[in-house]
Structure 1
Amino acid sequence: MHLVLQAPGIRHDLIEQAAALVSANRITPLNACAMRLEEIDQSALAELQAWARSKHVDVAALEDIRPLHDMKVLAMDMDSTLINIECIDEIADMVGKKAEVSAITEAAMRGEITDFSESLRRRVALLKGVAETDLLRVYNERLQLNVGAEKLIRTMKAAGVHVMVVSGGFTFFTEKLRARLGLDSAHANVLEVNNGKLTGQVYGDIVDGNKKAAHLRSLALSLNATPEQCIAVGDGSNDLAMLSNAAYSVAYRAKPVLQQAAAFQINYAGLDAILNWFDSKDATQAAQAR
């Protein structure tokens, strides 16, 4: 087994401490923020993970280091995963309703509201009358990509991985990100607009947790991809079902319920930390050449 340790500007002395804890046979530097400990003593893994939490270091335990081009699917949530905000909360802020909407959002992401579709409809109803131009203001003024997102997507695409965003948010934002980042596919909810204002309704079926999982399964089937060739990344309870369909299930800055369920956690490094779990040298070079 190998361990990949990652943190912004990780110190060499921390790597040496970790290597000693697990009796690593070899230390392989990956970049300024990541090191790989190879052929470790697995009996010390729990102790190492507790140590890593105390030092704010992300740890990924891997049986082997697979070539990135062996992977076929990267499925990502949007709000608070690919991007830094919950779009619906910021839209609500435009009309002075952020506190009310955010309270429902937080409860839903923690898993305290089990019917995501109903919670979304309740929140969208509060947005009735919001101008469509306010959504554009949220995109232009508040939405930022999370650290490492562009590098992750660019390198995945260079490796031939299908990059999909599947969100319980809104197509107004996913379609802009699809064009901006060159995403291969995107799925989200459609806000109903009449005369330039939100009606407080959504079109069609709600993209909830089950629908997210269905989109991943459908894509994997179309690409003949096994769960071992799928990576899924999310932050809330609405991502649980999707992540259960990927061997590389990743909780990014996630709520406790998802942290516990996911195979991997990223709490300190950027999204591009995922690349260091694979042999991605060729894809990284190809991405840089673009």
Structure 2
Amino acid sequence: MISVVQYWHQPDYCPPAIRSRQNQWRSAFPEQYELFDRRTAADCLHAHFGQEVVSGFLACGVPAMASDYFRYHRLAITGGLYVDSSFLPGDLARIISLTGHPLFALSVPKVDLTPGIAQARQVLGKVLLNGVLWTKSAPSPYFSLLSALVRRLVHERSSNQIPMVTGIAVLTMFDYAVSASEKNSVRSLENIRLALPPGNERFLAVTLEFLQQHTKQLSELTPCAWADSEDMKDVFHRPAEDHSRLADPAHWTNHQGDIFTATS
């Protein structure tokens, strides 16, 4: 049975547009749907991983970052589908058909959004989004190792950019390492370095050290199957109005100063 997981950090308030979309997922999967907030997510992490992992979660000072951290750990223990609350459900038959893949993610659309994404795609072949993630395995070795990398990046305060600590850069680099791990590990590590613009040396140092320490585990994993998000609109999509005015409130991803809290 497919499990559908979502996260919204505030239990007592959610923007109406976001709540409406969550309710559509709940209606589509009434028996399998789970919605976590900051407290219940921390309780879940404590029950399955202990206080050290909870401390990493609480150190994520931006809601989108905490959401990233939680989704990887939740998928590691239960498998299933994690989908951002900004998405609407589409063709449920096609959603269920994705369970034929051991792992699945969406990729950034073919139209490059930024020079940085264009550069990463040219080197690595794709840039994965973490707004929709599926894993058939429970527990999931893929997300267990990815979660361990994210915990290291948070602990080391590897960057002040969310994509480089918990977001799409981490997922993309990790999946590339998985797909390349049985080939030339030295070359794959160099490509990861080339995929990023200057200024990310700390992230690279922590990530490359972790990947080198886990070469054997990486070689035993299956990489994500993926599809361009533009080609999957009938399955997962954000409404057209989001292109001009995002449903996510500004505080979800925007921050001033440090993205980490004092808790560690």
What's the TM-score, normalizing by structure 2? 0.27
Greater helix share, 1 or 2? 2
Q: Could you say which structure has the higher strand fraction? A: 1
Structure exhibiting the larger radius of gyration computed from Cα positions: 1
Q: Bigger relative contact order, structure 1 or 2, given CA contacts below 8 A and separation 6+?
A: 2
Q: TM-score, normalised by structure 1?
A: 0.25
